[in-house]
Each structure stands twice: as C-alpha cells, then as structure tokens.
C-alpha cells in the first residue's frame, strides 16, 4: 500500500502528510495471501459481510429500469497496465477506500478517506462488492438496499506526519442485513499477534488477507504489520485472528506496483520479514467514540433460570437477568 495512501486509481487526492520515500517499498510480504470472498472461511465471510466499500457518488448511479444501482468500473489490468500473469488482473475496480460497520448507522474508516463534509456528501457506501464464485470478476450493479450515503462526520482525526488516522461517519439510515463488528476495547495489542485484514485493495472486490502478524507496537497511535494491503485498503478493519475483534484501521504502507522491463507493471513483493511494513491505527485511539454492542452492554451479567434458585418462586418459566456476583456460599 503506497505511503501516500492512494484513495483511488486516477483520482487526485491531497493529503496532509509529508512525502515519504522508501527505496524498497513493497505491498506483498511473503506469499500473496489475498483471497476472494468465496475462497474465505465461513467465519471470515461473516465478518466480511459487515465490511463496506467507499465510492464517489458519480460511480454509483440509480437505474430506474432495474431498480438497482449501476457501478462504474474498469479492470485492474487496464487501470494499472498489469502484466498478463498478475493476480486479479481481470477483476473490476471502482472503490477508493474501505470501511467497516461498527454501529447501526456508523462506519469506521481512515481519516484521509473522508476529509470534509463535502467529501462525505459525495460518498456512497456499498455493501456486497465481492466475488461470490469462481470465474466472476465483480458485480456491475448492486441492490438499492446495499447502498448508503455518508450523512455526516461524527469524529475524525488526521495528524501531521505519521500517527493516528481515522474517521467515524454516520450513514443516511440504519443498516439492515449487516451486523456491527466487535472491537478490542482493552487497548492492548502485542507484538507477533496474528492478524488479518478485510477490504478492497486497489478498489477491487472484497479481499481477505491473513497469515500476517504485528511487527511493532511502540509507535504513538499506530502499529506496524506485514499485511498484504494496497491503496483502496485504506480504512480496512484489521482483525485479531484469535478473537475476530478489530484491532485497528489500515492507513499507510509502501508502493503497490513496480514496472518491469517488459513494459507492464507487477505487484511489488518482499520477504515476509522485509520492507517497512504497513501502518495500522490502533483501535484504542477511537474506541471511546464507538457505541458498545448489546453483548458488551450486558457484560458482567448472567442469564439464569430462577427455578434453579434455592427459594420459593412462581411455578413458571420466568427468566431474569441479574448482576454477576460472587458465590455467597464460598468461603474466601
């Protein structure tokens, strides 16, 4: 993923970050672990259903005759002049950033993806931009129920230079058919933690990329990892492999493609432990602004059957929710 965080191929984006130079910039660390939706495990597919792609409004147009939205796309190979053997060369691209649903009408993304309220109003959020089976190249239209508009910026931060980079945006209506994702609220992330990312690299249909781990947690506001990410992954949720909770937001990285003597471009690669790594805003930077899920709000409570209690209760199936307390019969 390029260090200037390309928002979309061919779109001009002005970022409040210094120009950084990494002579050996790479985006793929070790093997290319990117998988299409249909190739991912059932658990990762469930998480993927709550990941969303961000599009400029003019690329998502209502079609009165079909009742759907038509998506303006082109192939990755065409856009990047990719060599014939490159992965995903024939798939469609169109999204400029990625995001994840973290509330009933709240999406989390990178701060450089949505900078102003004008940007917000001009952004469509599309669920379900994915490859559902082998041989497909991505949808050219999408159901109206899967398309939302950015209504307002709830919270945004983009510091000068390296550091935290995030935005929480409110949608024009509550999301149906997709569940908000859980985040790590402990604020702790350790080096070598196994992680994976779900998003839209280079604006492609949704990809899952695993077999990655955290390299460095010492940076203020972000950590560094060996994730296989590209421009378009900006705003992608980065998950803990053990818990499936979000640990951060993909925000920065290295160059995506390199030129070859043959006159075409190829995906940039590097050894698993090589390169500078990809930068992920720590979820602790914005967790206080993300509403708790129902399961989190009732944490510390236990659902019990009152018939099991040693007291006279009504002879029915009444169930109650009570605070979790210590065993009163245990001597401590």
- Residue 12 in any domain: the answer is no
- Say which CATH number the domain at 279 has: 2.40.10.120
pLDDT at 225: 96
pLDDT at 305: 45
What pTM did the predictor assign? 0.83
Cα–Cα distance between 5 and 278 in angstroms, integer? 11
Q: Is 62 helix (H, G, I), strand (E, B) or coil?
A: strand
The residue assigned the tokens 């779900």 is: 198
Is there a contact between 86 and 230 (Cβ–Cβ < 8 Å)? no
Exposure string for 119-145, b = 16+ CB within 10 A, e = fewer:
bbeebbbbbbbbbeeeeebbbeebeee
Q: How many domains does the chain have?
A: 1
- Residue 53 in any domain: the answer is yes
* Domain, as residue range, for 189: 28-290
- Residue 324 in any domain: the answer is no
- Residue 309 in any domain: the answer is no
- Residue 19 in any domain: the answer is no
pLDDT along the chain (332 residues), means of 10: 42 31 54 95 97 98 98 96 95 98 98 98 98 97 98 95 95 98 94 98 97 96 96 97 98 90 93 90 97 82 42 45 41 40
- Residue 157 in any domain: the answer is yes
- Residue 301 in any domain: the answer is no
Cα–Cα distance between 2 and 15 in angstroms, integer? 13
């Amino acid at each position: 993923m390029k260090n200037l965080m390309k928002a979309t191929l061919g779109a001009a984006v002005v970022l409040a970050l210094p120009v950084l130079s990494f002579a050996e910039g790479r985006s793929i660390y070790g093997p290319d672990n990117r998988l299409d939706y249909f190739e991912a495990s059932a658990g990762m597919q469930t998480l993927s259903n709550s990941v969303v792609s961000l599009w400029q409004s003019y690329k998502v147009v209502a079609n009165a005759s079909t009742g759907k939205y038509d998506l303006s796309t082109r192939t990755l190979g065409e856009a990047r002049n990719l060599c014939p053997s490159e992965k995903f060369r024939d798939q469609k691209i169109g999204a400029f950033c990625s995001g994840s649903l973290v509330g009933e009408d709240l999406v989390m993304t990178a701060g450089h993806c949505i900078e102003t309220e004008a940007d917000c109003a001009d952004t469509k959020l599309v669920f379900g931009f994915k490859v559902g089976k082998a041989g497909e190249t991505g949808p050219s239209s999408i159901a109206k129920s899967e398309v939302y508009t950015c209504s307002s910026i709830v919270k945004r931060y983009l510091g000068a230079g390296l550091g935290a980079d995030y935005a929480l945006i409110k949608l024009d209506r509550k999301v149906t058919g997709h569940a908000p994702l859980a985040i790590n609220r402990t604020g702790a992330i350790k080096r070598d933690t196994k992680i994976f990312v779900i998003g839209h690299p280079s604006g492609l249909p949704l990809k899952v990329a695993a077999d990655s781990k955290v390299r460095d947690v010492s940076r203020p506001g972000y950590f560094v990892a060996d994730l296989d990410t590209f421009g378009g992954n900006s705003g992608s949720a980065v998950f803990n492999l053990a818990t499936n909770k979000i640990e951060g937001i993909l925000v920065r990285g290295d160059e995506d493609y390199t030129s070859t003597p043959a006159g075409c471009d190829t995906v940039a690669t590097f050894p698993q432990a090589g390169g500078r790594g990809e930068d992920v805003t720590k979820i602790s930077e914005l967790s206080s602004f993300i509403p708790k899920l129902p399961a989190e709000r009732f944490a510390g409570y236990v659902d019990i059957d009152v018939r099991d209690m040693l007291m006279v209760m009504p002879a029915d199936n009444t169930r109650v929710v009570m605070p979790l307390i210590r065993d009163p019969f245990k001597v401590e």
